[in-house]
Amino acid sequence: MKYYASDIINIGDPFVLRENSVYYMYATHSSEGISVWQGSSPEKLGKKKLCYFKEKSFGDSCFWAPEVVKRKDGKYVMYFTARDRRDGVLRTGVAISDRPDGVFLDAYAGRPMFDIGCATIDATCLIDGDKAYLYYVKDCSRNVVGGINTSQIYAVRLTEDLLGVTGEHVLVATPDQKWETQSLPAPCMGEAPKADGTKRYLWNEAPAVLKHKGKYYLTYSANCFDSRYYSVGCAVSDSPTGPFEKYADNPVMQYIEGEMSGPGHNSFFTDGEGGLMCAFHCHTDYDKPSGDRRFCYCKAGFDGEGKLKLNYR
């Protein structure tokens, strides 16, 4: 199966949760909070509403990258990004609801999930037996490495209730492969190099983590979100906190000439038969890459050597 491109546009960062026979798709979409679509299949997501509201949020804008997991007690926990109304810094929030379609309310009234003194975005959760881990991004807006604004992926243990973090924050991915660091067009950040020829911004962001046959697979996006070259890479580890080794032949998903631009910020879900699927976005207008993006998905799986494959072509 080639990828499916839906008619849901003006979104970003899609995440799909399947509960019995209902699919819920959460995405970056509204300045008023976080939106959810629901339907009987990923192709029939016709019902849309806000499930998290700005008025009751610790943040006042930039409601990005929502993801939802079901807790052991049946509650639903949402991780997301918002711009903290106290100081304008992007931070990771956590909210909770009795239902997958909300309403979600902040677990900590008036404040984010955690504050490590740096902007953080793109949180995702891996439940691994009786342990759980949060993967998030130190955002390039405030994370400077070697003079370059750099987005890097970190991992940290979650508390048992999935609402807090505990222990060491471990760096698991930083931009270091050629496709992630070479000079490529990215209109939103002005990708002209500095006077000394170095780049202004680099990205490893949008983590998603799978466990398969004892190994941990980290997918992530690199390059700027409104660049045609926004693409997905993969890295693998024997441990949930790394070290992760990136595939030598990354990216595992990239633009298709004349057809699909800037695929990225992927996540994973299963269909009704238990098949592994990959949700992602691409630019709505191939010829004019921008923040207007379309919800897409494709099949995913592992080959005989245990290599993750995103079957989008």
Q: What is the pLDDT of residue 198?
A: 57
User: Cα–Cα distance between 201 and 51 in angstroms, integer?
Assistant: 33
| Residue 189, pLDDT above cutoff 60 | no
Q: Write the DSSP string, 198-230.
A: --SEEE-EEEEEEEETTEEEEEEEES-TTSTT-
User: Cα–Cα distance between 228 and 283 in angstroms, integer?
Assistant: 8
Q: What is the pLDDT of residues 38-88, one digit of tens each?
A: 999 999 998 899 999 999 999 999 999 999 999 999 999 999 999 999 999
**Domain range enclosing 127:** 4-311
Average pLDDT for residues 17-42, to the nearest whole number?
96
Is the Cβ–Cβ distance between 290 and 283 less than 8 Å? Answer: yes
Q: What is the pLDDT of residue 95?
A: 98
Confidence of residue 35 (pLDDT cuts 50, 70, 90): very high
Q: Residue 91's closest CA among 107, 103, 78, 79? A: 79
Comparing 47 with 215, the larger pLDDT belongs to 215
CATH of the domain at 59: 2.115.10.20
Q: What is the mean pLDDT of the chain?
A: 94
Distances (CA, A) of 201 to 13, 23, 149, 180, 223: 20, 36, 5, 10, 9
| Residue 187, pLDDT above cutoff 70 | no
303 CB-contact burial (10 Å; exposed 0-12 / middle 13-18 / buried 19+)? exposed
Q: What is the pLDDT of residues 105-116, one digit of tens each?
A: 999 999 999 999
Confidence of residue 191 (pLDDT cuts 50, 70, 90): low
What's the structural domain count of the chain?
A: 1
Average pLDDT for residues 208-221, to the nearest whole number?
98
| Residue 148, pLDDT above cutoff 60 | yes
Q: Which of 35-39, 159-163, 198-202, 215-219 has the lowest mean pLDDT?
A: 198-202
Average pLDDT for residues 86-92, to the nearest whole number?
97
Q: What is the pLDDT of residue 201?
A: 87
Average pLDDT for residues 199-205, to the nearest whole number?
87
Q: Which of 128-132, 178-182, 192-196, 261-265 has the lowest mean pLDDT?
A: 192-196
Q: What is the pLDDT of residue 199?
A: 60
| Residue 309, pLDDT above cutoff 60 | yes
